[in-house]
Structure 1
Amino acid sequence: MMMIRKFVQTLCTTAALTMSMTIAASAADTQKLDERIEAAHAVLHDLMATPDKGIPNDIAAKATCIAVIPGFKKGAFIVGGQYGQGVVSCRTGHGWSAPAFIQLTGASFGLQAGGQSTDLVLVGTTHDSFERLLHDKIKLGGDASVAAGPVGRDSQASTTETANAAFLTYSRNKGIFAGIDLTGDVVHQNTEDTTAYYGSDVTYESILSGSVKPKPDSLNFIRTVNQMFHASGAH
Structure 2
Amino acid sequence: MRRLLPLLFLVLLALPARAQGREEAQILVDQAAMALPELVGDLDSASRDQLSLLLREARGVLICPRILRAGFLIGGRGGGCVLMGREPWGWSAPAFYGLGGIGFGLQIGIQDMALMMLVRTERGLRALMEESFTLGGDLGVSVAGFGATLQGATTAALGADLVSLARARGLFVGASLEGALLSARPGWLADYYGEALTPRQVVVEGLGRNPGADRLRALLARITAPTR
Q: TM-score over 0.5 for the alignment?
A: yes
- Once residues 40 and 111 of structure 2 are traced to their aligned partners in structure 1, the CA distance between those partners, rounded to angstroms, is 23
- Once residues 211 and 60 of structure 1 are traced to their aligned partners in structure 2, the CA distance between those partners, rounded to angstroms, is 18
- Once residues 10 and 182 of structure 2 are traced to their aligned partners in structure 1, the CA distance between those partners, rounded to angstroms, is 35
Q: Does the 8 A contact of 1:99 with 1:214 survive in 2? A: no
- Once residues 96 and 66 of structure 1 are traced to their aligned partners in structure 2, the CA distance between those partners, rounded to angstroms, is 9
Cα deviation, residue 30, structure 1: 1.1
Equivalence map 1:84-233=2 (5 Å): 84-143=79-138, 144-152=141-149, 155-158=151-154, 160-174=155-169, 181-230=176-225
Q: Does the 8 A contact of 2:95 with 2:199 survive in 1? A: yes
Query: Which of 1 and 2 has greater Rg?
Result: 1
Match of 1:31 among 19, 23, 32: 23
- Once residues 132 and 19 of structure 1 are traced to their aligned partners in structure 2, the CA distance between those partners, rounded to angstroms, is 35
Percent sequence identity over aligned pairs = 24
Cα deviation, residue 72, structure 1: 0.6
Q: Does the 8 A contact of 1:41 with 1:224 survive in 2? A: yes
- Once residues 99 and 161 of structure 1 are traced to their aligned partners in structure 2, the CA distance between those partners, rounded to angstroms, is 29
Equivalence map 1:59-70=2 (5 Å): 59-70=54-65
Q: What is residue 37 of structure 2 aligned with on the other side? A: 45
SS at match of 1:79: strand
Cα deviation, residue 188, structure 1: 1.7
SS at match of 1:206: helix
2:29 aligned partner, one-letter code: I
Cα deviation, residue 96, structure 1: 1.0
Equivalence map 1:10-25=2 (5 Å): 20=12, 22-25=14-17
Q: Does the 8 A contact of 1:120 with 1:172 survive in 2? A: yes
CA deviations on 1:76-127 (whole Å, 9 max, x unpaired) are: 1211122111111011231111100011122222223332221111111112
Output the TM-score relative to the length of structure 1. Answer: 0.79
Cα deviation, residue 148, structure 1: 1.1
Sort the Cα spacing of 1:112 and 1:51 in 2 relative to 1 into closer, same or farther, 3 A.
Answer: closer
Q: Does the 8 A contact of 2:82 with 2:97 survive in 1? A: yes
SS at match of 1:201: coil
1:129 aligned partner, one-letter code: G
SS at match of 2:26: helix
- Once residues 99 and 31 of structure 2 are traced to their aligned partners in structure 1, the CA distance between those partners, rounded to angstroms, is 16
Q: Does the 8 A contact of 2:193 with 2:209 survive in 1? A: no
Output the TM-score relative to the length of structure 2. Answer: 0.81
Figure out how many residues of one structure are paired with residues of the other and give that number: 216
Cα deviation, residue 201, structure 1: 2.8
